[in-house]
Amino acid sequence: MYKKFIYIFFIGFALISCQVDSSTDTTNNSLRQKIETATPFVPIFEDFDKIVRATVEARLDNFEISSEVESQVSLALTATSIAVYGTATKTNTPQPTSTPTPLPTITNTPSPLPTYTPLPTYTVVPTVTSIPPTNTPNPTITPSPLPTSTPTSIPIPTPLPTMTPTPTITTIDVLAQATKKVVKILSGSSGGSGVLVSGNDPLTTFIITNEHVIEDKSDMLIELYNGNKHEGQIIFEDKEIDIAIIEINAFDLEVFDILLVGPPAVGLEVYALGYPLNENYSVTSGIVSANLYEEDSGIQMVQTDAALNPGNSGGALINRNGALVGINTSRKEKTGSGRIVTNMGYATLIDEVYQKSPHLFNADIQR
């Protein structure tokens, strides 16, 4: 019975809604527009009760149901009541009086001016003058001086003096120099050899020879190694030791130095220089065979085995260094019994010559 009532209510409500929509065109355009714009409801429920409930809830949920909708609902209810219970008593539902809501009276209440709250007075914070901290200097750490290591001086080796090699003078060189200091002497029919030495006069040169070589004092011719010839003059002679000294007007000639060294050592190598037989210049060699002292003359003689021939008288006997040892004087040819003797020559020691005429020479004494 309840379901039948609901079904009749739903159908009546739908019919009334259709009549209201078709007959009332001018009633309220805004209402119709709103109802037309409502989203159509499509029932999807199988249960009839649920369909009715959903339809009512959908209608009631419309947010703009006006007073006309309420009156239509009332008419629908009345029609339903008549259908069920008979003729219904018509009840005039008074229309709600729309009381206009009075607009709120706008009172122009002056808005009070905002009270000025004075800004707080800021007390000036005194500027803090930052006093830099006084840096107390750290005490200077004086480092203990490290013991100074006294360097041990390494003795610098004294360099040995560089020995400049002295050019080796050979015997050939010595004899070549000695050749210029020996001269040939011609006097009358005699002749011999002589030795050039320096004297006291730089413009002249002295010649030592044997006294027996000079045959004619007024006729003397001195021939040098290079062929130059000079006249000579005797300035000293001693027949006891068989020595004569001749002076020639020539200078800047090669001469022997007079070295007073005493008697030479026996075995010393010596050379005899001269013009044997008044011919060409020649050299013979030997050794010192002995040092003799003549009792008759009181002079020292040097014996040598170097060959001495006529013409070697007055020539030089030198050692291997070129120093003048003596003046060649003589040789022994045979004994008192007539026997032949060889290699026994004699020379007057140069020291004896100087002793006899020291005022004439500048000698170098090396005793």
What's this model's pTM, rounded to 2 decimal places? Answer: 0.55
**Which domain CATH number covers 180?**
2.40.10.120
Whether 40 shows a pLDDT value over 70: the answer reads: no
pLDDT in tens, 146-171: 666 666 667 777 777 777 777 788 99
Domain limit, last residue, from 57, 85, 113:
85
Tally of structural domains, the chain: 2
Last residue of a domain, one of 21, 53, 85: 85
Domain contains 128? no
Identify whether the C-beta of residue 352 lies closer than 8 Å to the C-beta of residue 328.
no
State the residue range of the domain holding 33.
Answer: 2-85
Coil, helix or strand at residue 278: helix
Residue 335 placed within a domain: yes
**CA–CA dist 265, 287 (Å, integer):** 9
Q: Is residue 150 part of a domain?
A: no
CB contact at 8 A, 327 and 348: yes
**Together in a domain, 60 and 199:** no
Domain boundary residue among 36, 59, 85? 85
Would you say residue 99 lies in a domain?
no
Is 158 domain-assigned? no
Q: Do 34 and 181 fall into the same domain? A: no
Tokens 């060959």 belong to residue: 307
Angle of helix 2-23 versus helix 48-60 axis, rounded to 10: 40
pLDDT tens column, 237-269: 999 899 999 999 999 999 999 999 899 999 999
Instruction: Give pLDDT, residue 309.
Output: 93
Kindly state whether residue 193 falls inside one of the protein's structural domains. Answer: yes
- Mean pLDDT is lowest, of 42-51, 85-94, 191-200, for 85-94
Residue 177 lies in a domain: yes
Check if the beta carbon of residue 342 is closer than 8 Å to that of residue 331.
no
Q: pLDDT category, 115, cuts 50, 70, 90? A: low
The enclosing H or E element of 171 equals helix 171-179
Does 279 score more than 60 pLDDT? yes
Would you state the structure tokens that stand for residue 65, as one six-digit string?
A: 């149901």
The two three-digit tokens of residue 203, written as one number: 């413009």
DSSP 185-250: EEETTEEEEEEEE--S-TT-EEEEE-GGG-S-TTSEEEE-TTS-EEE-EEEEEETTTTEEEEEES-
pLDDT of 22 > 50? The answer is: no
pLDDT for the residue numbered 43: 45
Same domain, yes or no, for 288 and 178? yes
Residue 28 lies in a domain: yes
Is pLDDT of 31 > 80?
A: no
Specify the range with the lowest mean pLDDT, choosing from 86-90, 141-145, 272-276. Answer: 86-90
Instruction: Please check whether residues 180 and 60 belong to one and the same domain.
Output: no
